[in-house]
């Protein structure tokens, strides 16, 4: 089992940047693929980005491709989401999640463990 705690959310103006962090504890961090998801009010939780165990493979939602970057530091048991050129439509609660499967997934149901979320608000 792994416990996940997100941080780094906040209020930012459109065009600005934020870096989210997700610290993991418990079972060895490096055995999990890691993902970031987000959920806006009244909407379903949606995939944002995922990174493989080594960080060598990544996936991104089309809506964030070229603006967001996922990375991980296995020595620090932490995964990051660097968010640049933020837009008001990026406003949501952002969650990190851990997946013990072999390949990268983009669906909510594929992930085994979830953090509590961190709020990101982008003002226009």
Cβ-count burial 91-103 (b if 16+ within 10 Å, e if not): bbbbbbbbbeeee
Q: pLDDT, tens digit, for every residue of 4-62?
A: 999 999 999 999 999 999 999 987 899 999 999 999 999 999 999 999 999 999 999 99
Question: Do the Cβ atoms of 81 and 49 come closer than 8 Å?
Answer: yes
Q: pLDDT, tens digit, for every residue of 81-111?
A: 999 999 999 999 999 999 999 899 999 999 9
d(CA 4, CA 123): 27
């Amino acid at each position: 089992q792994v416990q996940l705690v997100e941080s780094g959310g906040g209020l930012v103006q459109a065009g600005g940047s934020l870096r989210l962090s997700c610290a993991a504890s418990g079972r060895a961090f490096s055995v999990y693929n890691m993902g970031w998801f987000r959920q806006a009010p009244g909407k379903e939780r949606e995939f944002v980005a995922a990174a493989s165990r080594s960080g060598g493979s990544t996936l991104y939602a089309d809506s964030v491709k070229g603006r967001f970057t996922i990375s991980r530091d296995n020595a620090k048991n932490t995964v990051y989401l660097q968010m640049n050129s933020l837009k008001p439509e990026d406003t949501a609660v952002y969650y990190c999640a851990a997946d013990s499967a072999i390949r990268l997934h983009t669906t909510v149901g594929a992930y085994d463990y979830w953090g509590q979320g961190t709020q990101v608000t982008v003002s226009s």
